[in-house]
Structure 1
Amino acid sequence: MTECKQNRGNAVLRNPLINHSAAFTQEERDRYGLRGLLPPAVTSMEDQVTRMRTILDRCPTSFDKFLILDSLHATDENLYFKLLIDHIDDYMPVVYTPTVGEVCQKFSHIYRHPRGAFISINDKGHVREIIENCPNEEVDVIVVTDGQRILGLGDLGVNGMGIPCGKLSLYTACAGIDPAKTLPVTIDVGTNTEAYRNDPLYLGLRQERVTGEAYDELIEEFMVEARRRWPNVLIQFEDFGNNHAFDLLDRYRDQCLCFNDDIQGTATVAVTGVYSALRVTGTETGGSDVFVYGRR
């Protein structure tokens, strides 16, 4: 538990990074000014997981389960990740694919809890301010998207933020990365999807996509400022359109720690699968036929 004067009483319960809800011991409740702010019983994390699973089991769809998990993520990260880690097979499809596709399409209609950083083309010249506004003292991993090619759903604009958020949840649940040291980022330069521009609830810029020099300058400003504040950060490019993805990778791969998941991550997993199959079958690459099956 972080020891500081401002983290007392409701400030503790409203901070998802340190909130343990009913799992706070009586000694912790006295120390952090929580006496009387929680039900009397001290429950274990395991009991809280059981309670959440009971709630989730009553949800009719995976999308409904996502809404519950998203609210939990915003209020109690300890319980959220305990639930994911202990039951990853059940909830990975909820916090990421396939459910995240529907989440992104409806992002502007279900948005409730601020998470991550949004940098728009109108923020050119102010990206340092945005990076400084981020509460993370340290960041090890940034997942950034411009929303142009989200899964197989096309240009979702700012609605694509669901992808960086979902992917970073998995990085914590599956790889143990400290969630306090992760940052989802969306670069909003507009969207070419007219339905979103005409949606009164759409949370992004209502304009066609900016390309060319202005786009490159915004990306450069983001890359410079992110590395200035967090020099050792890993930056993952996620779901950029092909017209930008390869250029960005070529431009920055030798300048900083970065990769493109759709280009390098997918290829790495595919090659790993082939080599694993060869090892299991005891065959060599030269004498094998490889069949690739998938979808766009």
Structure 2
Amino acid sequence: MSGFCQNRVVIVTGAGSGLGRGYALALAAEGARVIVNDINEQTAAQTVDEIRRAGGEARVDTRDITSYEAAGRIVRDALEIFGDLHAVVNNAGICRDRMFVSLTEEDWDRVMAVHLKGHFCISSHAAKYWRARAKAGGAVSGRIINTSSGAGLQGSVGQANYSAAKGGILSLTLVQAAELARYGITANAIAPQARTGMTEEVFADMMKKPEDGGFDVFDPANVAPLVVWLASACSAEVTGRCFEICGGEISVADGWRSGEALSKGARWTVAELDQALPRLIARTPPAQKVYGS
């Protein structure tokens, strides 16, 4: 077996179903050896079995990505089983959707833990391994692939917790890219639209399979080639980017940028701002609309 990720070792979280499963299968098909992490041991085992039947190498991992200690064990297992680590695909996620005034503290904390802390934990251990290797003079080709969403880029009504977590992941990606480049590590994010366990109920009608057998725009497998490329050696010069992908359409997100400025050269008074800000706002392009608004 040979391909874009030949002999590269990749950890994929949430790889028992949906997008993560598609990533694991595609990575293995391109030669990667995959740690299939999922809290559901049965679905993780099914993904591993499918990879092995196709001639690939994979192992099941059911550890909790929100535990820093457990995340370290995932990375150590990858090193002990396969001898190296080249990429981490932070995919696992959950939803606890409610309007903002109805969100509970538990709704907030759980989504933050799985998405934002989960992205931190494994990436932290992987980055420490890669940094140590680089400092020892070894070659490093490390890849961190984070998962944001349109909700993280522009917000989504009824998903304040999810949107905040996904927005935080985008900022985390920028910092990782800036800090880790010196060690041979890239960090990028993807914002996929696909049919998964988190979307199949809310967007069931929009994302259902075409009845005429035509192109299935929301098939999770459509996103997998992008993840394979980002996990490969080919993406070495690409870092700090967010790729939006839906079906056969892909774009690079254009995030927050400093806009037009007014400079007085001294402190503004409230009265002056009352005159200046409406004019400045009128000249500044508005943000994209929040999903559902």
TM > 0.5:
no
Q: Whose strand fraction is larger, Structure 1's or Structure 2's? A: 2
TM-score, with length taken from structure 1: 0.27
TM-score (norm 2): 0.27
Structure number with the higher helix fraction is 1
Ranked by relative contact order (alpha carbons within 8 Å, sequence separation 6 or more), the top structure is: 2
